[in-house]
């Protein structure tokens, strides 16, 4: 087996290791720390045909079961979560059972939430197979499902016992999904790592060609940045909120378009440009930051314009319901400069609307989108 790179998420007493490498799914040694009980692999109907048998082979000798979800954000629901709980009860899983999430962020979030709730918390492992899940959602312990009125409104913090990243899974990832994952990668550079941002600007062509060395470096740097934040603020009572750069706008775009028009990363890409534009408009950062961010996101094949088919009013309503909103207003993450973000509660609805309108492709239609 190829030697994996390790990143430690220092969350005592819940610290865990992220293993990054090629063919890690097939390595039985990475599964030697499973609890003694039954194993339930939660995957989806796209990923399971590709990787489920390989994981089951690595788990040979264990009492192993699988539960297959329908792929996609529209299926990140309470009913999907309940299906996992039903399966655990059906196989008579006990507190010493193990859940393994094999798939993207949706599978990981639902599986983790089931692990958090079943018998008040059982062990679970993340095997993320999309770029977005590998660099973001598999690390940090955020689990949950969506509500028709808002994204991730129902959930819990429940840290994985281990994260196993097999970079070869990116070989089968559709290009749109790969691009969507790049939004979360760019986020780390924008909020806290100007050096990484510079590397991305110079290496974006190699990254988009999925060069193995470039991908390993990209994933490791992303997780190292996230691990620093999570270790400092596990449950988002402070600094961890900066990881939501672009997300309040992005979640609103997703909700208003019924999770059907954009992938999560695509919506976050647009949201980051709006947030950077708002930062410039309020003179919180220098001019040019938004353009710099927009250029890199476009080089990654991501959308950067707010769609004209959703109104500012609808977006603002969704933002007010977002789980990141606070009693004193909409909480946004804005930029002081590239690589330096902060939490802001003082942007007015009027200022936010101006930034939204500035990010519409056809600004001539903005008068129609304000109400």
Domains of the chain, each with CATH number or no CATH = 5-172 (3.40.50.1970), 175-369 (1.20.1090.10)
Tokens for 166?
């097999």
68's enclosing H/E stretch is strand 64-69
Q: For residue 19, report the phi and psi dihedrals to the nearest 5 degrees.
A: -100, 125
Q: For residue range 187-216, what is the model confidence (pLDDT) as tens digits?
A: 999 999 999 999 999 999 999 999 999 999
pLDDT of residue 328: 54
Positions of the chain with pLDDT lower than 50, given as ranges: 1, 364-371
pLDDT of residue 369: 38
User: 237-250: string of b/e by CB count within 10 Å (b at 16+)?
Assistant: eebbbbbbbbbbbb
pLDDT of residue 368: 37
Q: How far is CA 53 from CA 66, 240, 348, in A?
A: 10, 36, 52
The span from the CA of 195 to the CA of 340, in Å, is 12
Three-class secondary structure of residue 293 per DSSP: helix
70 secondary structure, DSSP code: P
pLDDT of residue 370: 38
List active site positions: 120, 142, 184, 226, 236, 240, 244, 247, 251, 264
The span from the CA of 19 to the CA of 8, in Å, is 9
Q: For residue range 218-258, what is the model confidence (pLDDT) as tens digits?
A: 999 999 999 999 999 998 889 999 999 999 999 999 999 98
Q: Would you say 261 and 323 are in contact if contact means Cβ atoms under 8 Å apart?
A: no
Nearest to 253 by CA among 201, 178, 303, 182: 303
Q: For residue range 99-124, what is the model confidence (pLDDT) as tens digits?
A: 999 999 999 999 999 999 999 999 99
Give the DSSP letter string of 262-281.
Answer: S-HHHHHHHHHHHHHHHHHH
Nearest to 272 by CA among 201, 210, 152, 182: 182
The span from the CA of 345 to the CA of 365, in Å, is 28
Which residue shows structure tokens 């603020």?
233
CB proximity list for 312: less than 8 A, separation 6 or greater: 353, 356, 357, 369, 370, 371
113's enclosing H/E stretch is helix 105-117
Biggest CA pair distance of the chain? 64
- pTM, full prediction: 0.90
Q: Would you say 335 and 284 are in contact if contact means Cβ atoms under 8 Å apart?
A: yes
Cα distance from N-terminal residue to C-terminal residue, the chain: 58
pLDDT of residue 4: 77
């Amino acid at each position: 087996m190829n030697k994996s790179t390790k990143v430690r998420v220092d969350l005592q007493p819940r610290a865990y290791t992220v293993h990054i490498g090629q063919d890690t799914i097939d390595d039985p040694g990475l599964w030697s720390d499973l609890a003694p009980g039954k194993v339930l692999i939660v995957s989806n109907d796209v990923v399971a045909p590709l990787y489920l048998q390989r994981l089951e082979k690595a788990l040979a000798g264990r009492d192993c079961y699988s539960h297959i979800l329908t792929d996609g954000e529209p299926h990140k629901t309470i009913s999907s979560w309940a299906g996992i709980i039903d399966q655990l009860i059906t196989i008579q899983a006990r507190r010493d059972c193990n859940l393994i999430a094999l798939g993207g962020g949706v599978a990981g979030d639902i599986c983790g939430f089931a692990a958090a709730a079943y018998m008040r918390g059982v062990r679970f492992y993340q095997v993320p197979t999309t770029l977005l899940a590998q660099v973001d959602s598999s690390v940090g312990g955020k689990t949950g499902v969506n509500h028709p009125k808002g994204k991730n409104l129902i959930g819990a913090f429940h840290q994985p016992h281990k994260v196993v990243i097999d970079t070869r899974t990116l070989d089968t990832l559709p290009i749109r999904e790969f691009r969507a994952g790049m939004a979360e990668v760019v986020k780390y550079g924008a909020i806290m790592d100007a050096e990484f941002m510079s590397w991305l600007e110079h290496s974006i062509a190699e990254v988009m060609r999925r060069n193995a060395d470039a991908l390993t470096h990209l994933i490791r740097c992303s997780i190292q940045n996230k691990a620093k934040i999570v270790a400092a603020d596990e449950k988002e009572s402070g600094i961890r909120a900066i990881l939501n750069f672009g997300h309040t706008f992005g979640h609103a775009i997703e909700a208003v378009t019924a999770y059907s028009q954009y992938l999560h990363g695509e919506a976050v890409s647009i949201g980051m440009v709006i947030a950077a534009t708002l930062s410039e408009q309020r003179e919180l950062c220098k001019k040019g930051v938004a353009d710099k961010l927009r250029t890199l996101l476009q080089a990654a094949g991501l959308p950067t314009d707010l769609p004209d088919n959703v109104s500012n009013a609808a977006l603002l309503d969704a933002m007010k319901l977002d789980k990141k909103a606070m009693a004193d207003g909409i909480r946004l993450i804005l930029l002081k400069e590239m690589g330096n973000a902060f939490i802001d509660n003082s942007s007015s609805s009027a200022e936010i609307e101006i930034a939204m309108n500035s990010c519409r492709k056809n600004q001539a239609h903005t008068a129609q989108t304000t109400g």
